[in-house]
Amino acid sequence: MQEPGSSECSSIVRPANEAAARDLRRVPIHPDHWYPLAWSSEVKRGHTHGVRFAGEPIVLVRTASGTVFALEDRCAHRQIPLRDGVVDGEAIRCCYHGWTYDCTGRCVNIPYLGRERLPNGVRAYPCRELEGLVFVFPGNPARAETTPLPSLGSIANHAYKTRRYARDVACHYSFMHENLMDMNHQFLHRRVMGQMSARSLGRRHGENWVEVDYTLDREGGSRPLGETVALGQSAPGSPTDNDVMTVRTDYPYQTLQIRNPKSALMLDLWAVYVPLDREQRTTRAFGLVSVKRPRMRVLLDVAWPVLIWFTERIFKEDRWAVEREQQAHDEQGADWNHEVFPVINELRDLLRRCGAQASRRVIPIETPVAPGD
């Protein structure tokens, strides 16, 4: 599953001066990856659905034939959002003056202008559907073909039951990665999880990834029901201390996997954090939590509401924390964090290294001005 622990581990030192000077919370996510921007079910046939990636408005259009395409969400004429337009067969028609675009963004009709004088149109984004998610490639379209869609964990495996969620969080995506990877924050969940403490077993990394293993020890209180649902029905009284949790950031995606002492994968979380606004201070977290079904498969279905409640509570507490971190950063104007946990410092270097170079703006496609009528 993972690349072997590498010997250059010790060569990862504190960020060099240049890198250290760069505030991680201002590093834009790299656009040359596939990001989910909506659930397939949100984009209904013959309708549009407006979304955002890092401030860029994007319209998803499902045509009469059921195909989804993605365009810059503005009419080339007067910048009205195309999401308010009318789907016309396999094209989208702006609601204001009726300019019409096909799936490549080409302007194919202006009702009051001859066809020989049509302007260039708007930008199109590569777009694919996978497992109920609409993925868009917001970066250089030439790289979309050679960049694979991500593997979505155990979602396609019938031995698992999957919960899907999407939540907006008012923070930079990097706080989300750090929150999940630093399991020393169990104190935050003390009311839901009881008194747990994480013990780091070791970490590994490569060019585009970093991962860490933990065991979680119960220091007091009893095991919550939600955890039992998620991790399986151990015999009463048996220790779960030998379950191993691995958290991995494989840029830009993140996974959390829990294996039991027999190395069976009990819980498999896949997540990605999509920046919504241009400043990348708001993020939509998409997550897929797959839980191994027990032999009596119906047991998991019965217990499912407990797991939902449990994950909602945990997510709510984490959201509170990362939003406070973002607030502090906004107020302090810089990153005052004093991180002492080595894997988190490695993760921060990774996110800096793999991030985009600078905030980009969409430039309008140049359209030659039509001569007078």
Identity of the residue, 250 or 318, whose beta carbon is nearer to a second copy in the bound complex: 318
Distance CA 154, CA 292 (A): 9
Identity of the residue, 235 or 334, whose beta carbon is nearer to a second copy in the bound complex: 334
Cβ atoms within 10 Å, residue 345: 18
Identity of the residue, 55 or 132, whose beta carbon is nearer to a second copy in the bound complex: 55
Cβ atoms within 10 Å, residue 161: 18
As measured in angstroms, the least distance from the Cβ of 190 to a second copy is 8
As measured in angstroms, the least distance from the Cβ of 314 to a second copy is 14
Identity of the residue, 268 or 335, whose beta carbon is nearer to a second copy in the bound complex: 335
Half-sphere exposure of 176 (CA within 13 A, CB side): 32
Residue from 66, 235, 295, 336 that binds a second copy (CB under 8 A)? 336
Identity of the residue, 142 or 363, whose beta carbon is nearer to a second copy in the bound complex: 363
Distance CA 257, CA 289 (A): 10
Told to check if 98 binds a second copy by CB under 8 A, we report yes
Stretch that binds a second copy, among 33-41, 254-262, 285-293, 332-340 (CB under 8 A): 332-340
Burial class (CB in 10 A: 0-12, 13-18, 19+), 120: middle
Residue from 200, 215, 228, 260 that binds a second copy (CB under 8 A)? 200
Residue from 81, 132, 194, 206 that binds a second copy (CB under 8 A)? 81
Distance CA 13, CA 90 (A): 53
Identity of the residue, 79 or 233, whose beta carbon is nearer to a second copy in the bound complex: 79
Query: Which residues, 210 to 269, sit near a second copy by CB under 8 A?
Result: none
Identity of the residue, 25 or 161, whose beta carbon is nearer to a second copy in the bound complex: 25
Distance CA 273, CA 117 (A): 42
Query: Which residues, 4 to 63, sit near a second copy by CB under 8 A?
Result: 14, 55
As measured in angstroms, the least distance from the Cβ of 369 to a second copy is 7
User: Is residue 101 helix, strand or coil?
Assistant: strand
Query: Which residues, 341 to 360, sit near a second copy by CB under 8 A?
Result: 341-342, 345
Stretch that binds a second copy, among 137-145, 264-272, 288-296, 328-336 (CB under 8 A): 328-336
Told to check if 115 binds a second copy by CB under 8 A, we report no
Amino acid, res. 365: I
Q: Where are the beta strands (DSSP E) in the chain?
A: 35-39, 47-53, 56-62, 68-72, 86-88, 91-93, 100-101, 107-109, 124-125, 127-130, 133-136, 160-169, 195-205, 209-220, 244-250, 253-259, 265-275, 283-292
Told to check if 111 binds a second copy by CB under 8 A, we report yes
Told to check if 198 binds a second copy by CB under 8 A, we report yes
Stretch that binds a second copy, among 221-229, 260-268, 306-314, 331-339 (CB under 8 A): 331-339
Identity of the residue, 104 or 233, whose beta carbon is nearer to a second copy in the bound complex: 104
User: Is residue 110 helix, strand or coil?
Assistant: coil
By CB under 8 A, the count of residues binding a second copy is 50
Assign 3-state DSSP to the chain and report helix, strand, coil percentages, each to 5.
25, 30, 45
Told to check if 328 binds a second copy by CB under 8 A, we report yes
75, 62 in Cβ contact below 8 A? no
DSSP 66-99: S-EEEEESS-TTT---GGGSEEETTEEE-TTT--
What residue ranges bind a second copy (CB under 8 A)? Answer: 14, 55, 74, 76-81, 84, 93, 95-98, 110-113, 117, 119, 182, 184-185, 187-188, 197-198, 200, 321, 324-325, 328-329, 331-332, 336-342, 345, 364, 367, 369-370, 372-373
